[in-house]
Amino acid sequence: MYLSRLFQQTSQLPLSVVDRQATSSGIDSRLRLDAIYTALITRGGGQEHVRDEKDAEERRFSALEQVNRHRHLVLLGDPGSGKSTFVKFTAMCLAGELLGETQANLTLLTAPLPQDQKDDNNGQQPEPQCWTQGALLPVLVILRDFAARTLPPANQPGTARHLWEFLEEELRAAMLDDYVQEFRQHVQQHESLLLLDGLDEVPEASQRRSQIKQVVEDFAASFPKCRILVTSRTYAYQRQEWQLCEFQDTVLAPFTQPQIRCFIDHWYDHLTDIRGLNPEDARGRAELLKRVIFQSERLYNFAERPLLLTLMASLHACRGGSLPEKREELYNDSVELLLDWWESPKIVRDSSGKILITQESLTELLKVGKECVREALNDLAFHVHHDQPDLVGTADIAQIDLVDRLMRLQQRKDLQPGRLLEYLSDRAGLLVPRGVGIFSFPHRSFQEYLAACYLTDEDYPDQIADLARQEPNRWREVALLAGAKASRGTAAAIWLLAGALCYKPPGREDSGKTRRSPSRCRRDFSFWEGRGVGFGLAGHRVVSGAVRGIPDGQRSEKGSRCCFLGEGRTTTAYCHIGGLSDQPLSSYESAVPGFYRR
């Protein structure tokens, strides 16, 4: 009964985390973990045994192999890197092996790592992951639940007894009273695997830190035959006061191309089962998604994180096998999903199922609408992007600044900053804890998109145009996204931005500094379709300024950009621009033949 219950608890994942439509879709609202799981790899797992970096890279260990190598291990990773999913998958497979399950068992647990398509292993089958421990009895504990229900008062030490009392409560709540003694005897006398998920996510973590450490270390000493795996976010465990004595640690690596391919194939194979997709159609959609990801550096960077790859796969499937063609729409949908996940309520129940702790959503905590939270995040993204010293990666957000901005929103008198900080530290989604007192957005693209949303509401288009002229490398992507977002309200908005970017007449020496952004807008987004004739003085400045004074070797490229803008010509050397009569532009004369309006 114990194993059956554990297997049921760990074998499914809620799709509603990444798919709003799944919330009310019955069977489709849950995914089978055994069907979509992709094995994880750790960073530099074998470097102590190899001589150079190349060999170390080739001999990186999987997460499972690290658990096999170390009796007591802490698995570290960023939010969304797959730590909790790995814990559930390991527990499921071990329970499945002991239950005689045909799908989720040791064979699945040790399945070979995803292989590069170019690596055929000389025609041999890839080796399974190394696991020499056999079918250990899995014991899964969510440390957040344990801390909320069983830890003693803060001024008392934590011991192995407290954790054991929690396990006994779990068994009795499942009507397994008769199994309690046998369970304890097995853990004491036989090999088992205790899986402790979320070391840094316990309520009031800073006050409970020493107790949690005491409990884990005392349990390891009291049950020497029990192997222990603990998970934690990387930044939190790097603090000396969190680290566990006699525990090794390893860090999860980003997804590789083979892992991304494997996940997408598994995802669409599973959708053929739960949503009745035609297998050929599903395989075709999978190939399309892989192609889109590998052709875009930004999407590939997204896909390196399992959570964001799952998000993209969900959006792709819900849209019938396509991602939004416009990056702005993709980022908008992604931001909304991450915001929903980040600010949704969490519930902890006691052993009888009664709600013990309800952590309300952020909007409930602040007593404000969701739009107010979104506007505050837009404002925050703009200012940290503006002040970020580096032009790569995400900006550091000091927790004092984040809490201060959100406290300004709150409409309740009893909310303390400490409570808000505890809420933020326990969440991953649109903002993630990254260090001691530091938060960040999960990817630079989200930072840029939210900054763009801020700029479409603040002095558009003049402010973004000024910023793009002053620091084009910092603001180019933000300007593109701002133009795309503004154009969803009216197509004329993009011409306002184009006019602001190219506000000086053609021929001025500095008029070329912003030539590229308007044409990039057209290339990235399709809102200028069919607007070649009559787009006004702004369009005239954009098109003529885009090619005037450019060397012959580059002029055909610029001509193509102008063609994207909707400019068309009826003869070899004459163009319709801005509703003016046919007007020769000598700077077009060396453009390649076939330069016509699309």
- What is the CB neighbour count within 10 angstroms for residue 109? 22
Tokens matching residue 16: 């509603």
Residues 6 and 87 both lie in one domain = yes
Question: Residue 91, by phi and psi: left (phi above 0), alpha (psi -120 to 50) or beta?
Answer: alpha
Distance between CA atoms of 564 and 479, rounded to whole angstroms?
18
Whether residue 69 is contained in a domain is answered as yes
Q: Which residue has the higher pLDDT, 354 or 561?
A: 354
Which of 48-52, 181-185, 301-305, 379-383 bottoms out in mean pLDDT, i.e. has the lowest?
48-52
Residue with tokens 């069919």: 530
Distance between CA atoms of 244 and 226, rounded to whole angstroms?
16
Q: What is the mean pLDDT of residues 488-510?
A: 72
What percentage of the chain reaches a pLDDT higher than 90?
38
3-state secondary structure 397-434: EEHHHHHHHHHHHCCCCCCCHHHHHHHHHCCCCCCEEE
Residue with tokens 């997804």: 255
Q: Which residue has the higher pLDDT, 288 or 340?
A: 288
CATH of the domain at 86: 3.40.50.300
Q: What is the dihedral of CA 274, 277, 280, 284, to 10 degrees?
A: -100
The sign of the CA dihedral 131, 133, 137, 141 is negative
Which of 114-123, 550-559, 576-585 bottoms out in mean pLDDT, i.e. has the lowest?
576-585
Q: What is the mean pLDDT of residues 433-456?
A: 86
Which of 31-35, 159-163, 591-595 bottoms out in mean pLDDT, i.e. has the lowest?
591-595
Whether residue 478 is contained in a domain is answered as no
Asked if the model's pLDDT at residue 310 lies above 60, the reply is yes
Whether residue 59 is contained in a domain is answered as yes
Cα angle 334, 335, 339 (rounded to 5 degrees) comes to 120
Q: What is the mean pLDDT of residues 514-543?
A: 47
Distance between CA atoms of 473 and 485, rounded to whole angstroms?
20
Measured CA distances, 457 to 250, 383, 461 (Å): 44, 14, 9
Q: What is the mean pLDDT of residues 364-381?
A: 87
Which of 50-59, 372-381, 431-440, 443-452 bottoms out in mean pLDDT, i.e. has the lowest?
50-59
Give residue 162's pLDDT. Answer: 96
List the domain range (segments joined by +) for residue 508.
Answer: 494-588
Whether residue 461 is contained in a domain is answered as no
pLDDT tens per residue across span 136-179: 999 999 998 898 888 888 889 999 999 999 999 999 988 999 99
Give residue 368's pLDDT. Answer: 83
Give residue 551's pLDDT. Answer: 53
Give residue 182's pLDDT. Answer: 94
Q: Single out the residue in 251, 280, 298 at which a domain terminates.
A: 251
Count up the domains in the chain and report the number: 4
What would you report as the CA-atom Rg of the chain, rounded to the nearest whole angstrom? 28
Q: What is the mean pLDDT of residues 460-466?
A: 89
Whether residue 192 is contained in a domain is answered as yes
Give residue 500's pLDDT. Answer: 83
Confidence of residue 438 (pLDDT cuts 50, 70, 90): confident
Residues 411 and 388 both lie in one domain = yes
Residues 439 and 416 both lie in one domain = yes
Asked if the model's pLDDT at residue 254 lies above 80, the reply is yes
Q: What are phi and psi of 266, to 5 degrees?
A: -60, -40
Confidence of residue 585 (pLDDT cuts 50, 70, 90): very low
Q: Single out the residue in 227, 251, 275 at which a domain terminates.
A: 251
Residues 370 and 403 both lie in one domain = yes
Tokens matching residue 488: 């969803």
Whether residue 169 is contained in a domain is answered as yes
Q: Single out the residue in 210, 236, 251 at which a domain terminates.
A: 251
Confidence of residue 95 (pLDDT cuts 50, 70, 90): very high
Q: Which residue has the higher pLDDT, 407 or 268?
A: 268
**Burial environment of residue 196 by CB neighbours within 10 A (0 to 12, 13 to 18, 19 or more):** buried
Q: What is the mean pLDDT of residues 105-129?
A: 84
Contacts 24+ apart (CB under 8 A), 396-403: 396/434, 396/435, 396/438, 396/439, 396/440, 397/431, 397/438, 397/439, 397/440, 397/441, 398/437, 398/438, 398/439, 399/424, 399/425, 399/437, 399/438, 399/439, 400/437, 402/431, 402/439
Mean pLDDT, the chain, integer: 78
Whether residue 124 is contained in a domain is answered as no
Give residue 592's pLDDT. Answer: 30
Edge-to-edge strands of the sheet including 137-142? 137-142, 192-197, 226-233, 72-77, 248-251
Residues 288 and 425 both lie in one domain = no
Distance between CA atoms of 62 and 73, rounded to whole angstroms?
13
